[in-house]
Amino acid sequence: MDLGQPLRSGSFDSPGDDDEDSNVAKRWYHYIPVSLAVVFLLAPQPSILYVLLHYHLLVLQSTVFFSTHLLMTYTLTFLAFCSLIACISRDPGPVPDPKQSEENDNGGEMSLTEALMGPPPEDEDYTKPGKWCRVCWAPKPERSHHCSQCGRCVLKMDHHCIWMANKCIGHRTYPSFIHFLGSATFLALYVAAVNIQALTFAFRNPLSIDELTPVHELFLSFYCLVFAIVIGPFFVYHLYLVSTNQTTVESLSPFLLLRQLPPISPENLTRKFSDPPAEHELSYQQRRLVKDAGNTMHLYDLGWRKNWAQVFGPVRVPCRVWLARILWGGSSPGDGMKFPRNPKSDDMLARLATELIKADRQD
């Protein structure tokens, strides 16, 4: 697993902000949330061992149940820690540095960045997909975004997660992030189910068990149910995002669609808009059109099978790849620079542009 690349400076995906931030250095308090995540995973372990020993082994005298529950609990715990470590230690998706690429190609001659020094044309928007990040002054590949917390652009950025050591979740760590959510959710549900069953036995047979074991069972049942209720919806939400080929940023920011719109002729508008239009330039009705379109217009949706293959890779792969998927989620195929689009994406964007023009004329 590769370590992170040097950080670049900037603010989160702000097309009009040319100010450069200093590289974001990690402070001790940035690791508090991930430390809490580790505590949340380890806190119930003493109670789990206590219940397994005093109930399943001493009361039920079942070495099969004891061994099975012990194996399942610590297998899921181990898998959760594997994916957590993968998310923390891997770079989420470094954008290639044009300066280094040019030096490698030209033997140290003038880099592309140096050749392009100077103010960009006023009518040029470097924030369009496949253009440039105006903060990093570097290529901004499709579906990448600039994160002010990390001070850099991230390939296929999903979101910035404080629980993962204050790092972004991107192209290279998204499978591990989903793996962590799934492992933690299944662990909580499994431990809760086992202890609810044990707690039921304790209520029906109060004289067959000591006084302290039901207390541990009650604690584990409540703790794990709350944990599953908190983590589970995030896991289900990301399963939905994978199935529709969206990132969290794309799902929660429908106005990113404005950057994908085909050029709108000024003659068709009653008032002046930027190219592409900015959110603050739209009327209320136009904003509603964009928000509604964001709920149904998935530009990269290729069908759930291909969408899942784009995140986790194809089904037919070597055994070592499947082993990586099982242990920490594996990694997404491709370089994270280009992504195939929904064949209907151009038609959907053209239809949205037409509706925005109609709404502009009605205002």
| Closest C-alpha to 243, from 179, 182, 302 | 302
The answer for 295, left when phi > 0, alpha when psi is -120 to 50, beta otherwise, is: alpha
Number of neighbours of residue 220 by Cβ within 10 angstroms: 23
CA distance 15 to 125: 8
Say how many C-beta atoms besides its own lie within 10 A of residue 352's C-beta: 22
Q: What is the 3-state secondary structure (H, E, C) of the chain?
A: CCCCCCCCCCCCCCCCCCCCCCCCCCCHHHHHHHHHHHHHHHCCHHHHHHHHHHHHHHHCCCHHHHHHHHHHHHHHHHHHHHHHHHHHHCCCCECCCHHHHHHHHHCCCCCHHHHCCCCCCCCCCCCCCCCEECCCCEECCCCCEEECCCCEEECCCCEEECCCCCEEECCCCHHHHHHHHHHHHHHHHHHHHHHHHHHHHHHHCHHHCCCHHHHHHHHHHHHHHHHHHHHHHHHHHHHHHHHHCCCHHHHHCHHHHHHHCCCCCHHHCCCCCCCCCCHHHCCHHHHHHHHHHHHHCCCCCCCHHHHHHHHHCCCCCCHHHHHHHHHHCCCCCCCCCCCCCCCCHHHHHHHHHHHHHHHHHHC
Residue 1 in contact with residue 90, Cβ under 8 Å? yes
Catalytic residues: 161
